[in-house]
Amino acid sequence: MYYPRSFLKFILLGFLLVTVPLVYALGELILSIDRLESQGRQEVLQAAQAGRTSRLLYEQTTTLERIARQHLILEDAALLDEYARLRQDFHQTTRQLAALPLQPAQLATLGKLDGDEDRLHRLLIEPQRDAELAGEIATGYAKLVDGAQTMLAATDELTQRAIERLQRTAAEGREKWIYVGLATVAIAILLAVVFATLIARPIRQLDHAVRRMGRADFSHPIEVSGPQDLRYLGQRLEWLRARLAELEQQQTNFLHHVSHELKTPLTAVREGVELLRDDVGGRLTPEQHEIVRIVRDNTLSLQKLIEDLLAWHQTRATEPATVGPVVLSEVMERVIREQKLAALARTVTFECESKPLAVVGDREKLRTIVDNLVSNAIKYSPRGGTVRVRIRAEDGHAVLEVADEGPGVAPGERERIFESFYQGQARAEGRIKSSGLGLAIAREYAQAQNGRIEVGEREDGHAGALFRLRLPLAVRDALPVRERVSALIGSGK
């Protein structure tokens, strides 16, 4: 497909080509109207001329009859001179009528009138006439007048045929213009669709390329067809994609190397601390045990920080791998079972209220989101506290709410707590320090599945934090079954 050098020139070319059929149709309409107007003017002139000439012929014929009858009675030579002058006008009038588009029968009648007048004139100028010849001449002129009367009717018929021709021409033109108009509109629409497709193709290619790079997908080369300026833009995007892919690979390699280099000595430190803790190198004093405990807790914190860092990096580079309908209540029950020991250690109670609502997403990513929310609620809840988990439907979305009875989230921190590595003013009661990546990972996963996480106010007025996860429903009319479970983790339920 040929493309001009400039995208603007390509749009102008498409506009011009689309307007060509319309301009052609307009030109044809103007020419047809002009032809119809010329034909109508010609037909009107011919009809007017035919009517005027036929009436003149009739008047001349009656005048010739009157002069001939007067000459037959008076035998006046002056009347013959006047007759000779009038008959020249009569023959000139017949020639004018013969030049009009008359029917063959009408032309024959006109020729007969001309011949009859010549014959009667010869009889009229005869020096010797008897009564019988005079009667024949009078009868002949009477028939001549009747023939002129017939020509009046013939010219009226000529006018009627002209009107019918104009009507027929107008009808044919109207029918022709219906087809021309439909064909013109069809061609214009076809050209508009073709050029719209050709214009939209490079723009769509650019849009897909930008969207893929926005999802950190640098595996597909960028190819943009179209005008030269858009192809150049595609080439620059391809260079950017290659550069970002290179930087992404460098970052991944750096994180893997750093994590490996950190885990190796960290594992040795942990093993040494465990040996000291088990009194392998000799019995330790209570003060030394406290030092070993502090070192062990910090090594666990450092290990979790490394794992969270790698998980956070992975969320920024991948989309949900397995997408399908997931029952959110099943994910919630699984997370609560996995967090049973952590809750048991702090004697935390779970209170659950759920509906079997299905959402579209990656089951493992959803589990990670719920796990982060529930684990945070456990860490920030006081001993013997209650974590409330509720699943409900609202405006075509499944809403998962996790509320604890901890210190809560300050209004000024409700947006910042989702930032990577940010830690709020409130501190968990556990010994292992948070990495500040759990909520950032949860938000990344939620956004990747067209959802969102927000911090809200507890409706019951109690102290604590309330995190709300919203995800689009997979089945809008899911059965609203309600299940309320209250269980103390220590009871083994």
Q: How far does the chain reach from its first CA to its final CA, in angstroms? A: 70
The β-bridge partners of 351 are: 388, 486
Spatial distance between the Cα atoms of 343 and 40, rounded to a whole number of angstroms:
101
Would you say residue 143 lies in a domain? yes
Is 207 part of a structural domain of the chain?
Answer: no
- Relative to beta strand 386-394, strand 349-354 is parallel
CATH of the domain at 426: 3.30.565.10
Is 112 inside a domain boundary?
yes
The domain tally of the chain equals 3
Within-domain flag for 302 = yes
Output the tens digit of pLDDT for each of the chain's 493 residues: 556 666 677 777 777 877 887 787 778 778 878 877 777 777 777 777 777 887 888 888 888 888 888 877 777 778 888 888 888 888 888 888 788 777 787 778 878 888 888 888 888 777 776 777 778 878 888 888 888 888 777 777 777 777 777 778 778 777 877 887 788 888 878 877 877 777 778 888 888 888 888 777 777 888 887 777 777 788 888 888 888 888 877 877 777 677 767 767 777 777 787 777 777 777 878 888 788 787 877 777 777 777 766 666 665 555 445 677 888 889 989 888 888 877 887 888 888 888 888 888 888 888 888 988 898 888 888 888 889 999 988 888 899 999 888 888 877 677 777 776 666 555 555 444 555 677 888 888 888 888 888 888 777 767 788 888 999 887 644 443 333 333 333 333 3
Q: How many CB atoms lie within 10 A of CB 98?
A: 13
Yes or no: say if 234 and 222 are a contact pair by the CB < 8 Å rule. yes
* 331 and 306 share one domain: no
DSSP-derived pairing of the beta strands 386-394 and 452-456? unpaired
Do 365 and 411 belong to one domain? yes
- For residue 224, being part of any structural domain is answered with no
Under 8 Å between Cβ of 241 and 222:
yes
Which of 134, 167, 195 is at the close of a domain?
195
Last residue of a domain, one of 280, 312, 344: 312
Alpha helices in 278-358 (DSSP H): 286-315, 328-338, 340-345
CATH number at residue 299: 1.10.287
Asked if residue 220 belongs to a domain, the reply is no
Q: Would 348 be classed as within a structural domain?
A: yes
Same domain, 145 and 267: no
CA distances in angstroms from 387 to 117, 281, 382, 461, listed in the order given: 129, 43, 10, 15
Cα gap 14→33, rounded to integer Å: 30
Written as six digits, the tokens of 128 are 């010797």
Contact between 124 and 55 under an 8 Å Cβ cutoff? The reply is no
Specify whether 276 is located in the same domain as 373.
Answer: no
Question: Tokens representing 465?
Answer: 């934090």
Q: What is the CATH number of the domain that holds 136?
A: 1.20.120.1730
User: Is 217 part of a structural domain of the chain?
Assistant: no
Q: Tell me how far apart the 2 most distant CA atoms of the chain are, in Å.
A: 180
Q: Do 288 and 405 lie in a common domain?
A: no
Q: Whole domain around residue 253: which residue ranges?
A: 239-312
Helix, strand, or coil here: 283? coil
